[in-house]
Structure 1
Amino acid sequence: MNSLFTQPSAPVRLTRGHMQYGYYVSETETTIKYVVMGNGKALLFLHGAGLDSLAYKDNIELLSQRYKVIAPDIPFWGGSHTSEDCSSFKKYAEIFSKFINDLNTGKVILVAHSFGGGIALELAAMTNKISKLVLINSAGFCPRYSKTRFVYLVFFKSISNFLCGNNIIALRIINSFMRNIVKDLRIAPKKISITIKSIYVGFKDFNKINVPTLIIWGKKDRLFPVESAKHINNLIVDSKIKLVDGGHDWLLLSPRVLYDLLK
C-alpha cells in the first residue's frame, strides 16, 4: 500500500481562520492524524508526551497567522498509531521524515516541545527538509533522576499544576490528558513505557545538526532544567538560546510569547 493523505475533514471554526483535519497512512501500518491551519511557509509542530496536537490549539491558531501550521499527533498519542517499534526518538523521526517527504511542502520550519523535541533533533540530523529548528524545553539528554521520578514529573506533577487553574486553557490540557491516558488505562502503561524508553535513549548526534536553531526554555522547568538548554546550545554550532518566564509547559499558558519569539 502506498502512502496517502486523506482529504481534510470539514473545518472546525476557531477565533481566526479555520483548522482542518486529515489522516496520513503509510505502508508500514502507520496512521498519522494531523491538523492544518494557515497559509505561508510550512511549519511542522510536534507536541509533548501525554497530550495531543489539539492541546496546543492556541499556539497553532496564533502561528497560523504567519505560517501554514501542520500539527500531527505523535504515534501512540491522540489519533495516531503505528506498528513500528518506537523505542527511540530515531524511529519516530524516520516516520516523520517520510511524512514530510510525502506531504511535499518543501522545506519546513520544525518547532517542537518536550518529547517532540527529541524527535525533532533526530529529524534535523537525518533530513535536509528542515530549514530552521526551534526547540522548546526539549528532551534529548537522558535525565539524571530515576525513571519512576520522571514518570511522576511528566504524567502527574505537570498535569496537577493545571488542576489549580480555572480557565479554558487548563481545561483543554486536562481534557487532552484524559483522552490520552485516563480514557483507556489498559494501554496507558504501554504508552508510558515507550515514552520512557525514548527519553532515556536520548540523542547523541548533535554534530549532524547544521540548520539555524533557536532554543527556548522556561526558567523554572523541573523536568528538563535550564542546564539542558545550555548543553544543547553548546553542542549545536548554529544555535542561540532564549530563556523565558515559566516552567516546562509555559507555551501552553503563554502562546503569545512563543508567537512573538518566532516572528
Structure 2
Amino acid sequence: MTDRRDRTDRGQHEVQYVVLHGKRRAFVKQGSGPALLLLHGLACDHTTWSPVIDALAKKYTVIAPDLLGHGLSDKPRADYTLGGYANGMRDLLTVLGIDKVSVVGHSFGGGVAMQFAYQFPERTQRVMLVATGGLGPEVSSFIKLVQVPGWFRAMGLLTLPGVRHVETLALRTAAEYGDQRLLRKYTRDLAEIAEIVDSWSDRRTRFAIRHLVRAVIDWRGQIITMADRAYLTEAMPMAVVWGRDDMVIPVRHASNAAALAPDVRVEVLPEAGHFPHKDHPERFVKILDSFITETEPATYNRARFRRMLKAGGAPASSPLAAVMQAEAEEMEPATPTTA
C-alpha cells in the first residue's frame, strides 16, 4: 500500500512511497498509457529523469523509482545486488498493479534493467539501455575508488559542510566554464558528479553505495557482464543510447551491444556525456518513443525460454537461432520414405 506523497525541492514531480518488506521505497508515477519503468544510475535518484518525465507522461505511464539505498528510499543493510534490485522492481510493479513494462535503465540502472529482463521475461516488453554498465570492463576511476579501503571514512571527511561546498562549487564552476570552451567534453558531467558528492555527505548513502559498488566493480573495473546471458533476451526489442563524450563509461562499449540482440538499435548522441537524457531531453524522448512505437512488445513463451536455457550452454553462436531452427524442423512434415 502506498502512503504519503511529497513534492520536494529535489525535483518538480510528486513523490509517492510504498513499504515493501518493511523498507520504504520512493517513486514517481505520472501519466497514463503503456507502462515505462525508468531506472536511474549509481548514486543518483529519480530526478535524473526529470527532464523527460513530463513529455513521456503525455503518452505513457511513467514509473521512476529511487532504488533502495538512493534518494528518498530507505538505506538499510540489505541486498544491493542486481538480482535484489530486480526483485524490488517486480514487487513495486506488483503493488502498483502493473503486469508488463518497457524498461529503461541508465548506467547501473541498465544492469538492473537487463537483470529484470532475465529474471522476469514474462513482464518485460522492451529494454532500452542508456550509457549502461555491463558491456565492457572499463569504468571511471571515480567509481573504482568507492571500493578502495578507507573510502568510506575519507568521504566522510571530504563531505563535511565547509569542505563539501568548496568541492562542489569547484566542480560546478568547471562544468560552467567548460561549457563555453573546448574542454566541454571533459567537463560535461561535472555538475552531476557534484550532486553525487553532495549526496555522500549522508552516512547511510555512503554505506549503501559502497556495498553496491563492491558487488559489481573491483580494482580492474566492472565485474558483471551482460554477455553471458544475453541470449535470453535475443527475442526482445532492445535499444542502446550513449553520449559521445561519456567520460564515465566509454562510448565504444555501445559497439558491443550487438551481442545483446541481433536487431539492437544503437544511438550515439553528439555533444552528450554520461547523461544523454539530460543533455538532449527532447531528442531522447523522440528516440524512446520511436523505439516503442516501431517495435512489437516481446511475448513470453515458456517452452521456448526453457529450450533457450538448455541451448545456452552449448557453443552455438546463437541459442535463439538454434531453438528457432529446431522448432521449424519439428513443424516440417516428415518426408515420406520409399521402400
Answering whether residue 123 of structure 2 is matched by residue 129 of structure 1, we say yes
Letter in 1 for 2:65: P
Q: CA deviation at 1:190?
A: 4.4
Check whether the contact 2:175–2:190 (CA below 8 A) recurs between aligned residues: no
What does 1:72-83 correspond to in 2, within 5 Å?
Answer: 72-81=65-74, 82-83=76-77
Q: 2:331 corresponds to which residue?
A: none
Q: Trace 1:228-239 onto structure 2 (pairs within 5 A).
A: 228-239=253-264
Match of 2:308 in 1: none
Shift of 1:259: 0.7
1:6 aligns with 2:21: no
Shift of the alpha carbon at 1:238?
A: 4.2
Among 246, 249, 252, the alignment partner of 1:227 is: 252
With over 3 angstroms needed to count, the CA separation of the structure-2 counterparts of 1:65 and 1:238, relative to structure 1, is same
Residue 210 of structure 2 corresponds to residue 192 of structure 1: yes
- Corresponding residue number in structure 1 for 2:175: 164
Question: What's the counterpart of residue 177 of structure 1?
Answer: 196
Residues 121 and 140, structure 1, Cα contact 8 Å, conserved in 2: no
SS of 2:128's equivalent in the other structure is strand
Contact 2:44–2:70, Cα closer than 8 Å, also in 1:
yes
Q: CA RMSD in A?
A: 3.4
Identify the residue that residue 206 of structure 1 maps to in structure 2.
Answer: 230
Cα deviation 1:190-217 (Å, max 9, x = unaligned): 4234234224341432111132011111
Is contact 1:30–1:84 with CA below 8 Å preserved after alignment? no
Question: SS at the partner of 1:138?
Answer: coil
Structure 2 CA distance for aligned equivalents of residues 144 and 51 of structure 1:
20
Q: Deviations over 1:76-113 (max 9, x none)?
A: 11011354321x31221121122222221231111111
Q: Helix, strand or coil: the match of 1:6?
A: strand
| Higher fraction of helix | 2
Distance 1:126 1:179, change over 3 A: same
Distance 1:149 1:10 in 2: 32
Question: C-alpha distance in 1, partners of 2:172/2:236?
Answer: 34
Higher strand proportion, which one?
Answer: 1
- SS across alignment from 1:165: helix
Distance 1:12 1:150 in 2: 28
Amino acid at match of 2:216: S
SS at match of 1:217: strand
DSSP 3-state at the match of 1:104? coil
Query: After the TM superposition, which parts of structure 1 deviate over 4 Å for at least 4 consecutive aligned residues?
Result: 10-13, 170-176
TM-score scaled by structure 1? 0.80
In structure 2, which of residues 271, 281, 284 is the aligned counterpart of residue 255 of structure 1? 281
- Residue 26 of structure 1 pairs with residue 20 of structure 2: yes
Check 1:141–1:30 CA distance in 2 against 1; reply closer, same or farther (3 A cut). Answer: farther
> What is the distance in 2 between the residues matched to 1:179 and 1:150?
15
**Displacement of 1:117 after TM fit?**
0.5
Which residue of 1 is the match for residue 294 of structure 2?
Answer: none
Larger radius of gyration: 2
- Cα offset, 1:118, TM superposition: 0.6
Q: Deviations over 1:59-83 (max 9, x none)?
A: 2122212211110001111011354
**Matched residue count:** 248
List runs of 5+ in structure 2 lacking aligned partners. Answer: 147-154, 156-166, 180-188, 290-339
| Contact 2:130–2:240 under 8 Å retained in 1 | yes
Q: What letter is aligned with 1:219?
A: R
1:66 aligned counterpart, secondary structure = coil
Q: Give deviations 1:216-242, integer Å, cap 9, x for gaps.
A: 111222322233222122232342211
Q: State how far apart, in whole Å, the 2-side matches of 1:163 and 1:52 are.
A: 23
Identify unmatched segments of 5+ residues in structure 1.
Answer: none
CA distance in 2, matches of 1:74, 1:160: 25
**Cα distance in structure 2, aligned partners of 1:256 and 1:6:** 33
Change (3 A) 1:260 1:73: same
- On the 8 A contact 1:163/1:174 being kept in 2, the answer is no
**Cα distance in 2 for residues equivalent to 1:176 and 1:161:** 9
**1:150-204 alpha-carbon deviations (Å, 9 max, x no partner):** 3469x999x947852389xx9984774355223x146525423423422434143
